[in-house]
Structure 1
Amino acid sequence: MATPSPFMEMLRSEMRLRGHSLRTEKSYLYWIRQFIRFHNMKHPTEMGAKEVKGFLTWLAVERHVAVNTQKVALNALVFMYHKVLKIELGELGFKLAQKQQRLPIVLTPEEVLKILNQLEGRNRVIIEMLYGSGLRVSECLGLRVQDICLTSCSVTVRDGKGNKDRQTLLSQNLIEPLTSLISEALVVQRRDNEKGVGPSMPFALAKKYPKAFKTPGWMFIFPSSKLCAHPITGELCRHHLHDSVVRKALKPAVAKAAVYKKVNCHTFRHSFATHLLQNGCDIRTVQELLGHNDVSTTQIYTHVIGQHYAGTMSPLDRLKGAT
């Protein structure tokens, strides 16, 4: 295994000090490494705005990356130069990646049911929660026992995208299977506790409450089948199920259901929002349930269901009506 670069480890420490998520940490370090490799392993302190501009332009012109990918790379480099190295980049004026105007893929209720009928057990419950609560797959898998209220039929998402907490709906159809899964998860926790281990915990909280891993509320509802080393402390623990497990189960289910759209885990979140709007739900409510900062993000679903051209008739229909 290659020895970690002292500079990259310093960046990692800075990100953890500032409370960035592990997902952000991995993404930023990836793009910083790509930037350094693009410039033939020159140290960032020997480079500046010119090199950053060249790299970002290359991503757009040669790599044809999406606009959001280019933004992530820019954010990583700005963090490194502005926050850590204290070097101002000024106006970069790089070539922007082309904005991709794509509507989200949405399933019909019939297609959702056909796919669900090809799943069973834990995997079916996870996909049902993505559709029934509008969760991202990472949010669903990261749920702990204390995040589910079976009485009020609500789900609390902790540290969602943008480090935000929010509440969303819980389908009454999921009360029974979730009760069973929670019981199974708590059995796993008790067995782990007997060995002196438990669910992986947020680093700061684990330091403040070292015995919290024994509390039932902190157990993951969808625990991994194996123990692993905590990514920060290195201590042995049990993390939640990896999202690749869900994706591997979903792919054959979609094929067996004979649904020919491009379906992934996020498709069910799109379908959740679209079907709520189709059923007359207020767009502000949908915005809150999804955790969007701006209602304009939620408005994309009005385009999916055709609300933006409501009342407009196709000229072909008028033609046929006249014959």
Structure 2
Amino acid sequence: MVRRAEQYIAAFPDRKLAEQCPADVERYLTELGQRSELKDWQFRQVVDAIRILFELAGVEWLEQVDWEQWRASARRLEPSHPTVARDYEAGPANPDADSSDDSNHSFAEIRKTHSALLDRVVKTIRVRGMAIRTEQTYVHWMMRYIAFSGNRDPSDLDVTHIGRFLEHLAVDRRVAASTQSLALNALVFLYREVLGREDLDVGGFARAKRPRRLPTVLTHAEVTALLDQLDGVHQLMGSLLYGTGMRLMECVRLRVQDVDFGYGQILIRNAKGGKDRVAPLPERAQDGLRDQLARVKVLHENDLAESYGEVYLPDALARKYPDAARDWQWQYVFPSGRLSRDPRSGSARRHHLHESALQKAVNRAARAAGITKRVGPHRLRHIPSECRISALNDRQSESSQQAAYAAAVHSG
């Protein structure tokens, strides 16, 4: 930590700490973020060292730097992340889990032995346009099934083996009913859609009990206290989740062209089910969103000046529009503070913030606000319609209120 602080001081040889400002810190971190060799923990260490340095120096502007946003930028998108996973080889839902707990066979061994079959699974899923999360989950449960069956070819197995695996999950592993259903759906897809076993009839097996659960719902006062404990870009993101009903991944993947201040709305692309929808943009969040876009534009212009500025484009858009990756309209509204280098192409891109940053920020804010309920970003969507509308009524026009009411009812 001392060495990191010394490196920062050496970057400004002619200026004392008391003479510096937040712009100097952000410029230093931005330039540091262009160094792809820095590991995540090293970048986070730099941010912490600089914050402690200026805290000890007693500067008045310490809280003007969004330290949490910079710490959140330390984590880059891994190849298995749902935003970029289509560009990489398929893998288990949790790439860090090298081996299955159902046998002594590792996922790496299973993937090597059954690579042709798993490639067929991935191709079949992508031809049908299914979500990347579904692809990852199905591949994961198929490999768990193969591991449980002694690394045997699934085409040599029958419904009795499926039943044993599902019973093992319910009886031995004690998984939830929804988890067992996921495994069943994955295996039915494997046998019917990939292997062509239309006559597959999964017989009776021990099903995990499906208890009825009530969702956790925050009151208007709890949401207000929660948002008050968030700072900087996390507060803006939390406000958008609450005011628009967006999901977590829909928020972090938001692009500049999707924000329409003229109509007071946000276009959410490729949402659940692969559909687009429109959400109302609360007037209370518009000033903060404009400020955020202004900061992002400066960041993007600096990237372009340094021969960077590319952003990830989904599907085949990068081939269809070669210059679109550098266009302002395609940039993320909530970008990471550092660049990520694609291990295949070698190009440096600025991805969006990792969703775990907002998840951790909301958890910390809930504890600070004294909320004893289980709270996460998704809980901001579980708001009674009258509570959501009362939060938006203060400064919205009548037409915006009607749009907000329709969105609130639609989101449940």
TM-score, normalising length from structure 2?
0.64
Instruction: Work out the CA distance in 2 between the residues paired with 1:30 and 1:233.
Output: 27
Residue of structure 2 equivalent to 1:44 = 154
Q: 1:283 to 1:239 in 2, by over 3 A?
A: closer
Higher alpha-carbon deviation: 192-201 or 120-129:
192-201
**How far is 1:153 from its partner?**
1.8
Matched residue, 1:213: 325
| 1:137/1:79 CA distance change after superposition, 3 Å | same
Given that 2:318 and 2:324 are in contact with CA atoms closer than 8 Å, whether structure 1 keeps it comes out as yes
SS of residue paired to 1:156 = strand
The equivalent position to 1:255 in structure 2, one of 346, 367, 371, is: 367
**In structure 2, distance between residues paired with 1:231 and 1:85:** 33
Amino acid at match of 1:72: L
Asked whether the 8 Å contact 1:166–1:289 carries over to 2, the reply is no
Instruction: Note if 1:21 corresponds to 2:131.
Output: yes
Indicate conservation of the 8 Å contact 1:126/1:140, yes or no: yes
Rate the CA distance shift 1:133–1:229 in 2: closer, same or farther, 3 A.
same
Aligned to 2:216: 105
Distance 1:31 1:140 in 2: 28
Deviation of 1:54 (Å): 1.9
- Please tell me the root mean square deviation across aligned C-alpha atoms, in Å: 2.9
In the alignment, structure 2 segments of 5+ residues that lack a partner are 1-97, 99-107, 392-400
2:237 is matched with which residue: 126, 135, 143?
Answer: 126
| Cα drift, residue 143 of structure 1 | 0.8
Please tell me whether residue 140 in structure 1 is matched to residue 251 in structure 2: yes
- Once the two structures are superposed, residues 68-100 of structure 1 have per-residue CA deviations (whole angstroms, 9 ceiling, x without a partner) of 322322222222222222223522133333222
Q: How many Å separate the matches in 1 of 2:206 and 2:172?
A: 11
What pairs with 1:1-323 in structure 2 (closer than 5 Å)?
A: 2=108, 5=112, 6-7=115-116, 8-88=118-198, 90-93=200-203, 94-193=205-304, 194-228=306-340, 236-271=348-383, 273=385, 275-276=387-388, 285-286=406-407, 289-290=410-411, 298=412
1:123 and 1:246 in contact (8 A); partners too: yes
How big is the shift at 1:182? 1.4
Give the whole-Å Cα distance in 1 for the aligned partners of 2:360 and 2:408: 30
Which shifted more, 276-285 or 47-56? 276-285
| 1:168 alignment partner, SS class | strand
SS at match of 1:127: helix
Deviation of 1:64 (Å): 2.9
Distance apart, 1:283 and its partner CA? 12
Matched position secondary structure for 2:269: strand
Q: Residue by residue, what CA displacement relative to the aligned partner does 1:215-265 show, whole Å, maximum 9, x if unpaired?
A: 222111111233335699785422211111111111221111111111111
Retained in 2: the 8 A contact 1:134–1:289?
Answer: no
Residues 136 and 18 of structure 1, relative CA distance in 2, 3 Å threshold: same
Cα distance between partner residues in 2 of 1:210 and 1:272: 45
For the 8 Å contact 1:224–1:239, the answer to whether it is kept is yes
State how far apart, in whole Å, the 1-side matches of 2:382 and 2:343 are: 31
Q: Distance in 1 between matches of 2:221 and 2:163?
A: 48
Measured in 2, the distance between the counterparts of 1:182 and 1:283 equals 23
How many positions carry a matched residue from both structures? 291
**Which stretch of the first structure deviates more once superposed, 67-76 or 129-138?**
67-76
| Partner Cα separation in structure 2 for residue 61 and residue 146 of structure 1 | 50
Distance 1:283 1:154 in 2: 10
Partners of 1:201 and 1:212 lie apart in 2 by 8
Q: Percent identity?
A: 35
Distance 1:34 1:226, change over 3 A: farther
